[in-house]
Amino acid sequence: MAKKQKICFIVPEYRTDTPTHFPYIFEMIARLSSDIQIRCIIERSFGALPLLDSAELYVQRPTLFLFRIAQTKINILRARAAGYRDFYVHYSFFSAFFASLVTRIFGGRVFYWNCGLPWQYRRNWFREQFEQLVYQMVTFLITGTEGLKKEYAKHYHVPLEKVKVLPNWIDTEKWKAESEKWNVAEKHEELRERLNISENAKVLLFVHRLSKRKGAHYIPEILKRLQDENIVLVVIGDGPERKALELQILNYQLQTKIRFLGWIPQNEIIKYFAIADVFIMPSEEEGFPHVLLETMAAGIPFVAFDVGGVREIALRGLEKNIVPRGDVKIFCERICGALSVSHEYRTLFEERVAEYDIENVAALFRERIC
């Protein structure tokens, strides 16, 4: 009987109530562990541990940064000593750096996932140099779309053949089953009542960190332009722009048009998609946003700025809803148009998001990483 391939995943964090998309990584690990021997190093874990079927877990509890780095180095060395030659690192630069050092000395490969537009934002000199070094040291850089592949190669001076594309994913069957639980009139009414949203009002949904990178500062102007429409914006997320955002909303006297909910655990987010009519994403930076897969899985049209891999993900025929970055006027016009999108698009969204079903992307993982 042939031995299973061994891969060591390194993930920044796990917590049961996380508002991030990290749970998707653990779903993929569980799916892959049926035919790949997986060890998963979690840099920080809070609360109960994830269920990963046959995968091994090496969990590091929250501690001082330097101690955590030391723990990670030791766990990477242990993994290599146990015969793990391939390391798949999600976002963590330090782990990618240490794994690259270990594999250069003892043999092996490092696959480093990063997906965004980091070159648009200035960091201190040390971080810039360190990140550039990591991109050179890893065996392969993994990112979400063909367009981003070219951008990473250009900005970090790595050959195209060193960059592999692996899109994000969603468990469409699981999402559909959860959606059906919430797509009932009684639950819609209950949630609308709790949020003080009238029966006839249209619901816009924003799910992101409240930062300038994610376009939080555009929200007041968007609502001001739509103030004559019978709409309410539900904002899920928190961050550095929240106070300024609330103050501007108050200055514009738009308090009745918005509901701030703060962070919501990822496993509870689906009920808010169930009452939404349009999802908005005025981000200035994106890579391959998982939230757009959730939006399409929910059958909801979205309007977004044309950044990162957004256009490559969008449903063919609705590219008009991908508008130039910062153009709030057109953005609002597209929102009004999306509010009247026929329900026939729900099937088209389902067909599009099926391309990113976890089974399809797991097959790509085996093809491109294994």
Q: What does the domain layout of the chain look like in residue ranges?
A: 5-169+357-368, 172-354
**Model pTM score:** 0.93
Helix (H/G/I), strand (E/B), else coil: 4: coil
| CA quadruple 88, 93, 98, 104: dihedral sign | positive
- The CA distance from 187 to 275, in Å, is 9
What CATH architecture is 172-354? Answer: 3-Layer(aba) Sandwich (3.40)
Strands (E), 99-173: 109-113, 140-143, 163-165
* β-sheet with 5-15: strand ranges across: 56-59, 36-46, 5-15, 86-90, 109-113, 140-143, 163-165
Fold match between 5-169+357-368 and 172-354?
Answer: yes
Distances (CA, A) of 126 to 89, 92, 130, 134, 220: 21, 16, 6, 12, 36
pLDDT of residue 62: 66
pLDDT of residue 1: 46
pLDDT of residue 184: 75
Would you say 52 and 24 are in contact if contact means Cβ atoms under 8 Å apart? no
Q: How many residues does the chain have?
A: 370
For the 5-169+357-368 domain, the top CATH level (class) is alpha beta
Tens place of pLDDT for every residue, the chain, 370 residues? 456 899 999 999 888 888 989 999 999 999 999 899 999 999 988 877 766 667 788 887 767 788 888 999 999 999 999 999 999 999 999 999 999 999 999 999 999 999 999 999 888 889 899 999 999 999 999 999 999 999 999 999 999 999 999 999 999 999 988 888 888 778 888 999 999 999 899 999 999 999 999 999 999 999 999 999 999 999 999 999 999 999 999 999 999 999 999 999 998 999 999 999 999 999 999 999 999 999 999 999 999 999 999 999 988 877 899 999 999 999 999 999 999 875 667 788 888 999 999 999 999 999 999 8
pLDDT of residue 346: 77
Strand partners, 338: none
Task: List phi, psi (to 5°) of 306.
Answer: -85, 85
User: Token pair of 135, please?
Assistant: 């991109």
pLDDT of residue 342: 59
What's the DSSP call for residue 6? Answer: E
Burial call 240-259: b when 16+ CB within 10 Å, e when fewer = ebbeebeebbeeeebeebbb
Distances (CA, A) of 268 to 15, 42, 179, 214, 227: 14, 23, 11, 21, 29
Distances (CA, A) of 300 to 303, 308, 331: 10, 21, 16
Query: Strand 322-323 relative to strand 56-59: parallel, antiparallel, unpaired?
Result: unpaired
